[in-house]
């Protein structure tokens, strides 16, 4: 199969999966709007859905997040393991939630001049849209990072310098997506994800689903060495791929005293990774295609306060996987021992927020909760 045809197929698959995700949104919203009677009152911001869940979906939630969930990449070249990382220590984000819709926008952190001199500059963009229904949870997230440095420079160069080898043109594009289904109606995923509900009594649920990731890594042809010289490489590689996995998660929220909680989850998964490597040289480009299976476990825990107006908390998460590391592939490695601190406030919903969401519900009535 020629490269052009292969890339055309990948683009079509991306478009198809995006359409499927939108279709699942509509179907899942329709199934639950038909089967679950709503107790919402349009004049109230707080409604007791049942003795386990208090509803805040008609309020406008604004949340600030600070975390270290920064993906690094592992590639192998000439029998050397290269650990590539963007020059970011923390990520900041604002999350806006109203009714079924939650939107997260990443905020670019400032890099000091000294740190930029040692590790280079990095540009980043992160956007996530999440649709949370009574039983279904859908997530679509797009991440772009440009400008990486070689984290294990000293090991490879056998030096003690603070200066790192830099890849100023290296760019990563990652599209994450997932859809999962909640079995227990007394468990609130919204209370943990968007804080548009409050878990008033302890509950948990089994949540199976599917996950998919599109990824690409390009721009390894230019490096800046530890002496500050720009080097254009004759031999380098570019990577792109797609993986699909089955998720088998279980989530639980333990309610302590009023509005205080502890939550935990574990999500084992099994999947397939389809990827290609393009090896560049003065003689031309050689493209090869591969596929692998993998097993992974995502798990985490956290806690916080979810009050009628204020909410705050902290989450920790980690991931284990048996993904193989070889010269033919790139391995995406989330930060070890990730943490996420957040705090937010529920506002009276302004017209500029309610109008477009209400318009969507009027045009697509199956999105309505009531």
Q: Does the pLDDT value for residue 2 go beyond 50? A: no
Report residue 21's pLDDT band, with 50, 70 and 90 as the boundaries: very low
For residue 299, what are the contacts with CB-CB under 8 A and spacing of at least 6?
Answer: 264, 265, 266, 267, 317, 318, 319
Tell the burial category of 279 from Cβ atoms under 10 Å away from its Cβ (0-12, 13-18, 19+).
Answer: middle
Q: Read out DSSP for 273-303?
A: EEEEEEEEETTEEEEEEEEEEEEEEEEEEEE
Residue 150 CA to residue 164 CA, distance in Å, equals 6
Q: What is the pLDDT of residues 248-259, one digit of tens each?
A: 999 999 999 888
The DSSP letter of residue 326 is: -
DSSP, collapsed to helix, strand or coil, labels residue 264 as strand
Q: What is the pLDDT of residues 44-102, one digit of tens each?
A: 445 666 789 999 999 999 999 999 888 788 887 777 888 899 998 888 999 999 999 99
Q: Does the pLDDT value for residue 336 go beyond 90? A: no
With tokens 């957040």, the residue in question is 342
Which has the closest alpha carbon to 328: 221, 241, 222? 241
98 vs 111 pLDDT, higher one: 98
Tokens of 295: 């097993």
Q: Does the pLDDT value for residue 204 go beyond 70? A: yes
Report residue 38's pLDDT band, with 50, 70 and 90 as the boundaries: very low
10 vs 92 pLDDT, higher one: 92
pLDDT of residue 208: 97
Q: What is the pLDDT of residues 123-155, one digit of tens each?
A: 888 999 999 998 999 999 999 999 999 988 888
pLDDT of residue 26: 40
Specify the pTM.
0.81
Contact assessment for residue 304 and residue 320, using Cβ atoms and an 8 Å cutoff: no
Q: What is the pLDDT of residues 171-199, one digit of tens each?
A: 999 999 999 999 999 999 999 999 999 99
Tokens of 79: 């029998």
Paired sense of beta strands 203-218 and 197-199, if any: unpaired
Residue 98 CA to residue 57 CA, distance in Å, equals 6
Q: What is the pLDDT of residues 238-295, one digit of tens each?
A: 989 999 999 999 999 999 988 899 999 999 999 999 989 898 989 989 999 988 899 9
Q: Does the pLDDT value for residue 1 go beyond 80? A: no
With tokens 């990652």, the residue in question is 174
318 vs 365 pLDDT, higher one: 318
Q: Does the pLDDT value for residue 220 go beyond 50? A: yes
């Amino acid at each position: 199969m020629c490269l052009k045809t292969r890339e055309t197929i990948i683009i079509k698959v991306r478009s198809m999966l995006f359409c499927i995700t939108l279709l699942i949104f509509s179907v899942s919203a329709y199934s639950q709007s038909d089967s679950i009677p709503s107790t919402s009152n349009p004049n109230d911001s707080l409604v007791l859905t049942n003795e386990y869940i208090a509803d805040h979906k008609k309020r406008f939630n604004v949340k600030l997040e600070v975390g270290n969930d920064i993906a690094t990449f592992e590639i192998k070249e000439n029998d050397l393991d290269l650990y590539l990382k963007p020059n970011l220590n923390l990520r900041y984000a604002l999350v806006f939630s109203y009714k079924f819709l939650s939107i997260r926008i990443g905020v670019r952190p400032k890099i000091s001049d000294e740190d930029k001199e040692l590790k280079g500059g990095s540009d980043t963009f992160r956007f996530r849209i999440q649709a949370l229904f009574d039983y279904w949870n859908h997530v679509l997230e797009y991440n772009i990072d440009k400008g990486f440095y070689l984290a294990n420079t000293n090991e490879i160069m056998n030096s003690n310098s603070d200066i790192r080898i830099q890849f100023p043109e290296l760019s990563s594009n990652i599209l994450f997506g997932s859809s999962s289904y909640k079995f227990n109606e007394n468990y609130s995923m919204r209370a943990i994800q968007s804080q548009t509900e409050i878990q008033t009594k302890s509950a948990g649920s089994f949540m199976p689903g599917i996950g998919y990731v599109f990824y690409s890594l390009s721009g390894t042809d230019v490096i800046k060495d530890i002496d500050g010289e720009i080097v254009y490489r004759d031999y380098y590689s570019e990577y792109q791929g797609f993986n699909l996995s089955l998720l088998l998660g279980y989530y639980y929220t333990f309610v302590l005293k009023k509005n205080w909680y502890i939550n935990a989850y574990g999500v084992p998964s099994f999947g397939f990774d389809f990827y290609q490597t393009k090896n560049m040289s003065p003689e031309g480009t050689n493209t090869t295609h591969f596929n692998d299976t993998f097993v992974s476990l995502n798990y985490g825990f956290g806690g916080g306060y979810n009050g009628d107006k204020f909410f705050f908390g902290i989450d920790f998460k980690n991931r284990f996987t048996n993904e193989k590391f070889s010269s033919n592939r790139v391995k995406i490695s989330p930060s070890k021992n990730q943490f996420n601190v957040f705090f937010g406030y529920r506002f009276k919903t302004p017209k500029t927020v309610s109008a477009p969401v209400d318009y969507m519900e009027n045009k697509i009535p199956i999105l309505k909760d009531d």
